[in-house]
Amino acid sequence: MGRIVRVGFVQQSNSEDVKANIEKLTDNIKFLAKKGAELIVLPELHNTLYFCQKESVEYFDLAEPIPGPSTEHFSKLAKDQKVVLVTSMFEKRMAGVYHNTAVVFERDGSIAGIYRKMHIPDDPGFYEKFYFTPGDIGFKPIDTSIGRIGVLVCWDQWYPEAARLMALSGAEIIVYPTAIGWDPDDSDDEKDRQLNAWIISQRGHAVANGVFVVSVNRVGYEKNPSDKNTGIIFWGNSFIAGPQGEILCSSGNYDEENCYADIALTRIEKVRRIWPFFRDRRIDAYGDIVKRVID
């Protein structure tokens, strides 16, 4: 089978108690490490509640520098457990400049690289433009001891351009730390449409690029602190998909779960030989893709 990597993810709910959230994450990471996971992925903004439901300058106090207290904790954890660890931070880069940043730790605890979220939403209940400056690193994979990882974050997962650029740069595994859910007032039919669109889009990125995809969401209900709406039910459904879109591991809608699967990175070459999408790309005809609108 060639290069086999055991990949795990943590799907959990959060509370207002940041210390308790981190302790639970720590226990879940240790559990997956004992199961042999070499790469472990955490959800988006995993230390706290999803504070972007409300615009409040007080929430900037949650941001941390990199390096900082959280990176110190997860660095030690990655080293102790000998895993590659993908985390998600509210980064304070300087006064007035904050990012939604993924930090990847190597097995020895060093920072292998970071990715700053590029696509920033601004929807009811997801007021991220108030908090996050768009990323300025671009779509560059991070080299690790288990392979080349293309880290993207939540809203990035809807954009085929982001996944394609990561794959063209050599990413073997695309990971999506995520915090996405339902408006409790939506109908069951609407909830199903949203969830299925989310799953299909990411499985499509795996197929179109011949890569593995790891998408990790949180679960649980989080009340809107502004009382403008009824909050968010984070829909879970974290999964690992192979380069033909096949589901290798998945979790449910509501439960906290630790999930893992073995992936054979050599399958990327095998799949791309029978589905040579990169070979047949008409790069001479795609110039208009960089325009906002084609008139």
Catalytic residue flag (residue 16): no
Specify the amino acid at residue 54. K
Measured CA angle at 268 (ends 43, 271), to 5 deg: 125
Backbone phi, psi, residue 233, to 5°: -100, 105
Distance (Å, rounded) from C-alpha 155 to C-alpha 139?
14
The per-residue pLDDT of the chain, averaged, comes to: 96
Catalytic residue among 117, 172, 222, 249: 117
pLDDT digit string, tens, across residues 124-173: 899 999 999 999 999 999 999 999 999 999 999 999 999 999 999 999 99
Concatenated DSSP letters of 9-44: EEE----S-HHHHHHHHHHHHHHHHHTT-SEEE--T
Known catalytic residue: 191? no
- Stretch 13-26: mean pLDDT, rounded? 97
- Look at residue 41 and tell me whether its pLDDT is greater than 60: yes
Nearest to 73 by CA among 62, 60, 89: 89
Active site residue 38: no
pLDDT value for 2: 58
Report the DSSP pairing between strands 219-222 and 111-116: unpaired
Element (H, E) at 248: strand 247-250
Going along the chain from its start, the domains and CATH numbers come out as 4-278 (3.60.110.10)
Catalytic residue among 154, 172, 249, 259: 154
- Among 44, 64, 91, 172, the active-site one is 44
pLDDT tens digits for 212-265?
999 999 999 999 988 777 899 999 999 999 999 999 999 999 999 999 999 999
Q: What is the pLDDT of residues 276-295, one digit of tens each?
A: 999 999 999 999 999 999 98
pLDDT in tens, 115-135: 999 999 998 899 999 999 999
At residue 1, does pLDDT exceed 70? no
pLDDT number for residue 229: 73
